[in-house]
A and B are shown apart, each in its own frame.
Chain A
Amino acid sequence: MESNTTCLEVKQLELWYGNFQALRDISMAVPHNRITAIIGPSGCGKSSLLRCFNRMNDLIPGARVKGEVLFDGRNIYAADVDPTEVRYRIGMVFQKPNPFPKSVFENVAFGPRVNGITDNLAEVVEHALHRAALWDEVKDRLHKSAMELSGGQQQRLCIARALALEPEVILMDEPCSALDPVATLKIEDLMRNLAEEYTIIIVTHNMQQAARVSDMAAFMMMEEDRAGVLVEHGPTSQLFTNPKDKRTEDYITGRFG
């Protein structure tokens, strides 16, 4: 396993929404087949940074990016890169479960279909549902509406939907914030399993969760002008037990945020 190699590398990344600078001078490396957690107080730009990894910020009018995000050595913001290709290889799971108002099957088949993969669709869907630990619960209702599933099931369906494209990276934006503790634990178990094959980046405001699931952690804060900066990043155990920066220590010991 290429566990120590770099999958994504951020170099001096800056992000603006109109005149508002949301991220300032972010540089970090995300290793292959590891779970990297991005933590920090509300509004510090965690989700904004996550959306830079698959160019979702392109969809927000007035958003501008400076700097580079290297994915397997190639800058995804280079002029000749098609953002849909980036999003095809770097999947995303959102804060609130957002299944399409279609059947369970059609939800998972959506990604392959729009990317022109129509061979063995049933197998692709079944495999993705297995990987997301949802198959046993939905195998008898594949053609029923996904809206009838519970919140936790819907979120695992969204993970299956992302997995169906066999992405290399999965971005998760507070994937458990709308779920109860039992459903949360299921997703966390799932993430541990998926990390054997995928690189995962998770944004979370729940530090226990970051400590439980992640291998690497990045701590962000906002500066006076509300722009997000990266305070420190490193192995999770080190960041939580022996932080280098005073601000990280204050945050993880619950002194603010």
Chain B
Amino acid sequence: MTSRYQSPSVASDGQALPSLRRRQNRLREAAIHRLLVACALVSIFTTVGIVVMLVVQAAGFFKEVSILEFFTGTRWTPLFDPQHFGVLPLLGGTFLTAAIAILVALPIGLASAIYLSEYAKDRVRRVLKPLLEILAGVPTVVYGYFALTFVTPLLQNIFPNMIVFNALSAGLVMGMMIIPMVSSLSEDAMVAVPRSLRNAAYGLGATRFEVATRVVMPAAVSGIVAACILALSRAVGETMIVAIAAGSTPKLTLNPLESIQTMTAYIVQISLGETPHGTVEYYTIFAVGLLLFIMTLLMNLIGQWFVRRYRQRY
């Protein structure tokens, strides 16, 4: 490439210089263009690579285990005899913790969003919103240990029979982690509701709370739904908190006080463990990973669809 460039000193007469410089500029622009495209492609290739790897490896797994057993079996014991490969206990664990998380994050996140968008003075909002978003920047491993060493002992005072590793503690802390996602995205959607609609409602004698709940929230509903789906997707994909605090006992249960295992925590366990490569046990993580990938991908697509919908409205 560099051999094509000519140094300006090569030009012997002054007349040729401007056009030469222009040619150099053009070449440089073209090179920069290609470099930027290449950077953009890195993430696309990575995604494609991950999908291909997941599909190929998972295909190896499904040669050994039927898809029917995978999706309907209620026992997950790939590491013990007799081996069972029903993913439902892992799926159940994931949904149990994610459901607890969203039950925490939805009311608190929405209330914060209403406060920030309808009640807080401008100055207060400018300080509070970034502060709330810091919550999202705390490393999840910190949340994990917070759940295990602070929230769990606290909960054991209320539920003396609760096991150290349990779905409740992990779910609650995960809920705190995703509050900023719910509140920040919901607040964006509420702030986007035109001032004129609020004025119309105030003009009809509505109180601030009625304006927030009967006009602003319904008008921003697609944005709020999007926020919840994206937050749920984050909870489903969250790994560290559940790996540390929720346990490693795949169990199909709705009891949040029990020890469970989520899909993500299972993948961590096998990835870090001594399971020999090439065995069925090893391939399980790709099947679970593929399922997890499809689930979060779907949720993100639905969430983004909702975000687009509310943006088009006004």
Question: Footprint of B on A, CB under 8 Å?
Answer: 54, 56, 59, 61, 84-85, 87-88, 91-92, 94, 96, 98-102, 110-111, 113-115, 158, 161-162, 165
Chain A positions within 8 Å of B219 at CB level: 100-101
User: Are B121 and A88 in contact (CB-based, < 8 A)?
Assistant: no
Distance (whole angstroms) from the CB of A148 to the closest CB of chain B? 13
User: 26 A-B Cβ contacts within 8 A?
Assistant: A59-B198, A59-B199, A59-B202, A61-B121, A84-B207, A85-B205, A87-B202, A87-B203, A87-B204, A91-B204, A92-B203, A94-B196, A94-B199, A94-B203, A98-B194, A98-B196, A98-B197, A98-B199, A100-B201, A101-B219, A101-B313, A110-B201, A114-B205, A114-B210, A115-B205, A165-B204
Chain A positions within 8 Å of B200 at CB level: 94, 98-100, 158, 161
Distance (whole angstroms) from the CB of B204 to the closest CB of chain A? 4
User: Are A96 and B196 in contact (CB-based, < 8 A)?
Assistant: yes
Chain B positions within 8 Å of A158 at CB level: 200
Chain A positions within 8 Å of B206 at CB level: 84, 110, 114
Contact partner, A162, options B197, B204, B313, Cβ 8 Å = B204
Main secondary structure of the interface of B (DSSP, over half): helix
User: Are A114 and B199 in contact (CB-based, < 8 A)?
Assistant: no
Chain A positions within 8 Å of B49 at CB level: none
Bound Cα distance from A251 to B27, whole angstroms: 64
Distance (whole angstroms) from the CB of A111 to the closest CB of chain B? 4
Bound Cα distance from A158 to B218, whole angstroms: 19
B window 199-256: CB within 8 A of A = 199-207, 210, 214-215, 218-219
User: Are A84 and B205 in contact (CB-based, < 8 A)?
Assistant: yes
Chain B positions within 8 Å of A162 at CB level: 203-204
Instruction: Specify which of B200, B205, B218 lies most central, judged by the most chain A CB atoms within 10 Å of its CB.
Output: B205
CB closest residue in chain B, given A91: B203
User: Are A56 and B204 in contact (CB-based, < 8 A)?
Assistant: no
B window 172-208: CB within 8 A of A = 194, 196-207
Contact with A along B11-30 (1 / 0, CB 8 A): 00000000000000000000
User: Are A111 and B196 in contact (CB-based, < 8 A)?
Assistant: no
B contact residues, total (Cβ < 8 Å): 21
- Taking the complex as formed, is B122 at the interface, i.e. its CB lies under 8 A from any CB of chain A? yes
Chain A positions within 8 Å of B197 at CB level: 98, 100-101
Bound Cα distance from A91 to B203, whole angstroms: 6
Bound Cα distance from A189 to B85, whole angstroms: 76
Contact partner, B205, options A96, A100, A165, Cβ 8 Å = A165
CB closest residue in chain B, given A111: B204
Bound Cα distance from A54 to B205, whole angstroms: 10
Bound Cα distance from A162 to B200, whole angstroms: 9
Bound Cα distance from A87 to B208, whole angstroms: 13
The 8 closest A-B pairs by CB, nearest first: A88-B205, A92-B203, A111-B204, A98-B196, A87-B205, A114-B206, A84-B205, A98-B200
User: Are B202 and A102 in contact (CB-based, < 8 A)?
Assistant: no
User: Are A101 and B205 in contact (CB-based, < 8 A)?
Assistant: no
Chain A positions within 8 Å of B214 at CB level: 110, 113-114
Chain B positions within 8 Å of A56 at CB level: 199, 202-203
User: Are A61 and B202 in contact (CB-based, < 8 A)?
Assistant: no
Distance (whole angstroms) from the CB of A87 to the closest CB of chain B? 4
Instruction: Specify which of A56, A61, A110, A165 lies most central, judged by the most chain B CB atoms within 10 Å of its CB.
Output: A110
User: Are A111 and B194 in contact (CB-based, < 8 A)?
Assistant: no
Bound Cα distance from A98 to B193, whole angstroms: 12
CB closest residue in chain A, given B214: A114
CB closest residue in chain A, given B198: A59
Chain B positions within 8 Å of A111 at CB level: 204-205
User: Are A102 and B205 in contact (CB-based, < 8 A)?
Assistant: no
Chain B positions within 8 Å of A91 at CB level: 203-204
Distance (whole angstroms) from the CB of A256 to the closest CB of chain B? 30
Chain B positions within 8 Å of A87 at CB level: 202-205
CB closest residue in chain B, given A96: B196
Bound Cα distance from A162 to B215, whole angstroms: 16
B window 263-295: CB within 8 A of A = none
User: Are B204 and A110 in contact (CB-based, < 8 A)?
Assistant: yes
Chain A positions within 8 Å of B122 at CB level: 61
Chain A positions within 8 Å of B202 at CB level: 56, 59, 87
Bound Cα distance from A122 to B204, whole angstroms: 18
Contact with A along B38-70 (1 / 0, CB 8 A): 000000000000000000000000000000000
CB closest residue in chain B, given A107: B200
Bound Cα distance from A61 to B196, whole angstroms: 16
Bound Cα distance from A105 to B273, whole angstroms: 63
Q: A61-B121, A101-B313 are in contact. Are A54 and B203 (CB under 8 A)?
A: yes
Chain A positions within 8 Å of B194 at CB level: 98
